[in-house]
Structure 1
Amino acid sequence: MSFKQFSILLLLASLFGASFLFIKIASPSLGPLFLIESRVGIAAISLIIFARLLKQKIEIKHKWKELMILGAINAAIPFVLIAYAELNLSASLAAIINSTTPLFSVIISILWLKEGKNMRTFLGIIMGCIGVGILVGWSPIQLNVKVMLSIGAISLAALFYGIGGVYSKRSFQDMKSFDLAIGQQLGASIVLLPFALLDMPNKLPSIGVTISVLGLAILSTSVAYLLYFYLIKNIGPTKTVSVTLLVPIFGIIWGVLFLDERTTLSTYIGLFVVLMSILLVSNTKQKVSDVPKQVVK
């Protein structure tokens, strides 16, 4: 992984980390289904407008079936699962559980793409999971049915992210990152629309909720998925989804900056461990067959 690619990975982590805060603010007011429909719908529109301003041709019709599938498994389903879970869990805990995505990605890559993984990759991922555990300390969580179901929902979302990362690499080698980002959000919007119409809020959102929805849609979705698909095509799905190990770190950073949250020694120890795990995973050598045939510019 080059310095440029690692910098993009950090930026992507910061945007994805902010998404958990935006969802935590907006989900109780709008409801999970309507919130996520707003997220992917606004994201798709903003990406299309951006593409027109740049005079880029959008080519997604020939892959519309695959994009519908991608929109469902890599956006609609995991987004909704996380939004439901955050009705009962904190944003930071949701981000931490979501960091299990690389584990699923490795397993799916081995089973689906027949990729060989060395001990360095597995050690890096295990170290990352230990790091995010350190980040939250050992504060007890009051377990009940709602909390257990919410933890299960985010774990299931992580599984879908792992599947989506591998599926996008396998099915969209010939598509530009821009087209993939637009196609995924449009696909997710179409899938969710009938369900969102049945779950519309009864009152107009507050200014804070509105800002959160726009931040979630434009920053944490439109911009983030352009970066995400760029990395998928250039460094592979396993290394890309390792971004979820960094997401809790940025959740803490945003909490300190905007919510005056306190940090402890475990915060900084966890930060160091997670960064070391990312270096282990990102320095794993790729096989020639894993290198994308076409590099997105």
Structure 2
Amino acid sequence: MCGLSIKDWGKFALLGLIWGSSFFWIKLGLRELPPLTLVALRILLAAVVLTLVAWAGRVPVGGLRRWADFLVIGILNAALPFFLITWSEQHIPSGVASILNSTVPLFTILLSPWFVPEDRWTAPRVVGMGVGFLGVIVLLSPQAFSSGLSGSLSGHIGMLLASICYAVSPIYARRRLSGLDPRVQALGQMWVAAALIIPIAGQVEAPLTLPRLPLSWLAVGWLGIVGSCAGNLLFYSLLNSVGPTRTALVSYLFPLVGVILGVGLLAEPLTWQIFAGGVLIIGGVLLVNARRLWFWPPRKASGVHLLEEL
């Protein structure tokens, strides 16, 4: 994470807190709303607020003509992962969801060499991926040996699929939408996602109902305005300035925020599987971004090359 400016570090920390707390607010919203309705309200609110932000800032929106790219990003970075996460949290604690979502950098490292040839696999990355996915197995193990593919295991799998979406989308956005104003990127993504998810919610969960409880409205407001609007503005700003790999590392903060809120405010259990799996996943993510393994002898080099390797 070297080379980030103070401003980028501030964006990084704020985004981690915003998105790390989203799992908590999703859990609260699900107490009254079905998953597709919650996602549809969240995305619609975010799209409306982003439109007002763009209008107030007099942002040129000519880039919105690239509808095909926004269709891909709207699916991979909003509609599909939002639904997968919300649906999964019906079956697993919010703290576990935040831990599983922190596997995004692992999937990014796994997929990146296939699309970016110079981003090769290294010893720390291979070991880190192994450690990280061992953590996933630890989280899955109680359900994997007792309930087959039903119950909470399906929630774990849904979260992992959402993580894969989040690993692919920044690579695609960096390649196809680089240079666009972050407000345009977030706006195009959200309106495409809204156009996709609202009709589906209207068919599957008809008749659509609005929340009645103030806490449910607060959850929708947080997810739409703070999580999806402000969060995506920060995300695309970081993506443009530091690239997809470093931006994906924001998920370091998700387990810390998610587990603290889930255990402290929702009385979710903190089992040894959650603790051990979380430590292994975070350790794996740290390893894949290390310059070298501490037990791996460095290559013989001289001068500045040796310093860079260490």
Shorter-chain TM-score bucket reads 0.7 to 0.9
Q: Which moved further from structure 2: 150-159 or 53-62? A: 53-62
Aligned match for 1:253, one of 242, 255, 260:
260
Q: How does 1:51-90 map to 2 (within 5 A)?
A: 51-90=54-93
- What corresponds to 1:291 in structure 2? none
**Kept in 2: contact 1:29–1:209 (CA 8 A):** yes
- Report if the CA contact (8 A) 1:102-1:162 is conserved: yes
SS in 2 for 1:30: coil
Q: Does the residue aligned with 2:27 lie in a helix, a strand or coil?
A: helix
Q: Please tell me whether residue 97 in structure 1 is matched to residue 92 in structure 2.
A: no
Name 1:172's counterpart in structure 2: 177
Q: Is 1:107 aligned with 2:114?
A: no
1:182 to 167, 187, 190: 187
Distance in structure 2 (CA, Å) of the matches to 1:213 and 1:185: 15
Query: Which shifted more, 23-32 or 163-172?
Result: 23-32
Q: Which residue of 1 aligns with 2:122?
A: 118
Match of 2:228 among 202, 217, 221: 221
Q: Check conservation: 2:124, 2:289, Cα contact below 8 A.
A: no
Asked whether the 8 Å contact 1:239–1:281 carries over to 2, the reply is no
Deviations along 1:139-170, whole A, 9 cap, x unmatched?
A: 95564512222211111111111111211111
Code of the aligned partner of 1:72: I
Separation in 2, partners of 1:203, 1:227: 29
In 2, Cα distance between equivalents of 1:281 and 1:116: 11
Question: Aligned equivalents of 1:160 and 1:11: distance in 2?
Answer: 22
CA displacement, residues 52-82 of structure 1 (integer Å, 9 cap, x when unaligned): 2233333333211110111011110111011
**2:14 matched to 1:11?**
yes
Q: Tell me which residue corresponds to 2:35.
A: 32
CA gap of 1:42–1:60, structure 2 versus 1, over 3 A, is farther
**1:96–1:133 Cα contact (<8 Å) kept:** no
C-alpha separation in 2, matches of 1:36 and 1:94: 16
**Aligned equivalent of 1:156, options 161, 165, 178:** 161
Whether the 8 Å CA contact 1:246–1:274 is kept in 2: the answer is no
Q: Percent identity?
A: 27
Question: Computing the radius of gyration over CA atoms, which structure comes out larger, 1 or 2?
Answer: 2
Q: Is the 8 A contact 2:94 2:262 kept in 1?
A: no
Name the SS for the 1:21 alignment partner. helix
Instruction: Please say if residues 96 and 259 of structure 2, whose CA atoms lie closer than 8 Å, have aligned partners that are also in contact.
Output: no
User: Which SS does the other structure have where 1:29 is aligned?
Assistant: coil
Amino acid corresponding to residue 64 of structure 1 in structure 2: W
Contact 2:202-2:208 within 8 A present in 1 as well? no
Gapped regions of structure 1 (runs ≥ 5)? 286-297
Aligned 8 A contact 1:239 1:282 in 2: no
Report the CA distance between 1:214 and its aligned residue: 0.5
The 1:30–1:265 alpha-carbon spacing in structure 2 relative to 1, beyond 3 Å, is closer
Residues 108 and 268 from structure 1, CA distance in 2 versus in 1: closer, same or farther, beyond 3 angstroms?
A: closer
Report the TM-score, using the length of structure 2 for normalisation: 0.78
Q: Which range moved further: 80-89 or 96-105?
A: 96-105
Question: What secondary structure, in the 3-state scheme, does the structure 2 residue paired with 1:191 have?
Answer: helix
CA shift, 1:284, in A, is 5.7
Q: Quick check: 1:236 aligned with 2:243?
A: yes
Q: Equivalents in 2 of 1:284, 1:189: separation in Å?
A: 41
1:27 is displaced (CA, Å) by 2.5
Task: Evaluate the alpha carbon distance shift between residue 74 and residue 267 of structure 1 in structure 2; reply closer, same or farther with a 3 A threshold.
Answer: closer
Aligned pairs, number: 283
Distance, in Å, in 1 between the alignment partners of 2:49 and 2:177 is 22
